[in-house]
Structure 1
């Protein structure tokens, strides 16, 4: 019985690239169930590809096969691999950092290099620019359909050698101030998702309804500073007011109730975008 095959790319849907990947997969196994994670990863943004995998993968059944193609190094000597996660799912991808969040937050138990002598679309050997179709969709479909087993992908590699993107860890200093990064946006609504785990707030005995001073800086340049409340949901703030909340990955988010925080303050993502959160006096709004 075929497993699920889930595709993620930075290709967009304005041309035939994603459709070609579907076609290759269905040519391998016509009964295959194929789904899209997203094809709107910003071009060449390996970090966001890594994060969207992390955001999604745990909610799919075991043995689901993911194909993730954000591959600015296509045609170079970067490796093509398949990994098995600690939750018994598979990811087919270039080894270029796109597994950073999976390795750090979920765990990877095994990795194999794709042997292109066997696991490559027939008659595609002269093409070096569309591995998403010729190598990853083909191998992913073969694995999801049971045409091959994981140990037939290719030679086994060391999990510790998987490439990771440099990233920071959140922490609380001796003064009880929480430090983190703006990891990514909740794109549709413009909320900021940080790398600060809710457990860090629990450790500091911060509670819903408490008020905090939130500062956001790009390197050393302060971009935003304000007092806001830690709420369970957006309903715990007034329309247009900022709040801290726990997002769907159990990490802290910063939002404006029915507004885009990212657009309002021109805040982007990455290691240069720092956030600090410290206790502040409780805010009392006039009714």
Structure 2
């Protein structure tokens, strides 16, 4: 029985690159079931490739094979690898940091170097710029179709030798949580932070509580305002900002039916910092007027 094959790239769909990867995989096994994770990773953005795998992988069946191709170092000395996660799934990818979030939050059981003498599309040996097609699609399809076993991918390599990107940790300081904006919920413009719900709850929070939210980049303060913590977007009025728990159990920042990122020109990455501080609820008293 074939495993599922799931592909993500930064190729987009405006040319034939993704279609060529499909063709290679289906030539290995015409009955293989292939799915797209996304092909809209920003060009060369290894961090986002790593995060999108983390966002998605836990919801797929065991033994699913993932191919991730965001590969600014294609044709260089960077390694091509397949890793087996502790949840018994496989990721075929360049060794450039794409497995960062998987290693940290899910765990890697074993890693192997792709032996291109065996696991490379026949007659492609003189091409060095499309490993997504020639190495990763071919190897991923052979592994998903059980033409090869994981052990036949190539020699085992130490897990500690895998390239990782720096991952920042959120923390509490002087009664405020300081964290990072890891990524955007692109279509809707919400901000996804690295602040776990469990850490946020240490501020003794409840739905409806108010918080001062400050967002900065390396050069300036971009945003500072009071907003409410809501169970869902319906807990705020149209156009109002709110804090909420996103689908990865982390704190998100949103505008009800609007794009927070576009409204305030906010991006994601290591330089984008967020501080969240609980403030007292304001109670209007008519007798005080």
| Match of residue 272 from structure 1 | 271
1:93 aligns with 2:93: yes
CA contact (8 A) 2:6 2:35 kept: yes
CA contact (8 A) 1:49 1:68 kept: yes
1:15 aligns with 2:12: no
SS in 2 for 1:52: helix
Distance 1:48 1:284, change over 3 A: farther
Deviation at 1:160, TM superposition (A): 1.2
Distance between the aligned counterparts of 1:283 and 1:20, measured in 2? 59
Distance between the aligned counterparts of 1:71 and 1:78, measured in 2? 9
SS in 1 for 2:263: helix
Distance 1:68 1:193, change over 3 A: same
| Match of residue 243 from structure 2 | 244
Distance between the aligned counterparts of 1:271 and 1:48, measured in 2? 12
Q: String of CA shifts for 1:177-231, please: whole Å, max 9, x gaps.
A: 1010011100010000000000101233222211100000002511000000110
Distance between the aligned counterparts of 1:52 and 1:59, measured in 2? 12
Distance 1:262 1:283, change over 3 A: farther
Distance 1:284 1:240, change over 3 A: farther
Q: String of CA shifts for 1:66-100, please: whole Å, max 9, x gaps.
A: 00000000000000000011111000000001111
CA contact (8 A) 2:203 2:278 kept: no
CA contact (8 A) 2:11 2:39 kept: yes
Distance between the aligned counterparts of 2:130 and 2:56, measured in 1? 25
CA contact (8 A) 1:207 1:230 kept: yes
Distance between the aligned counterparts of 1:127 and 1:31, measured in 2? 27
SS in 1 for 2:270: strand
CA contact (8 A) 1:229 1:283 kept: no
Distance between the aligned counterparts of 2:87 and 2:181, measured in 1? 27
Distance between the aligned counterparts of 2:74 and 2:282, measured in 1? 52
Distance 1:137 1:202, change over 3 A: same
| Match of residue 37 from structure 1 | 37
CA contact (8 A) 1:9 1:40 kept: yes
SS in 2 for 1:271: coil
Distance between the aligned counterparts of 1:52 and 1:28, measured in 2? 26
Deviation at 1:167, TM superposition (A): 2.5
CA contact (8 A) 1:85 1:106 kept: yes
Unaligned runs of 5+ in 1: none
* Count, aligned residues: 285
Distance between the aligned counterparts of 1:283 and 1:101, measured in 2? 40
Deviation at 1:166, TM superposition (A): 1.6
CA contact (8 A) 1:92 1:136 kept: yes
Distance between the aligned counterparts of 1:269 and 1:40, measured in 2? 16
Distance 1:267 1:27, change over 3 A: same
Structure-to-structure mapping, 1:178-189, within 5 angstroms: 178-189=177-188
| Match of residue 144 from structure 1 | 144
CA contact (8 A) 2:113 2:154 kept: yes
Give the alignment's Cα RMSD to 1 decimal: 1.2
276-285 vs 57-66, which moves further: 276-285
CA contact (8 A) 1:120 1:134 kept: yes
Deviation at 1:162, TM superposition (A): 1.0
Q: TM-score, normalised by structure 2?
A: 0.97
SS in 2 for 1:270: coil
| Match of residue 196 from structure 2 | 197
Q: TM-score, normalised by structure 1?
A: 0.97
CA contact (8 A) 2:99 2:164 kept: yes
Unaligned runs of 5+ in 2: 285-289
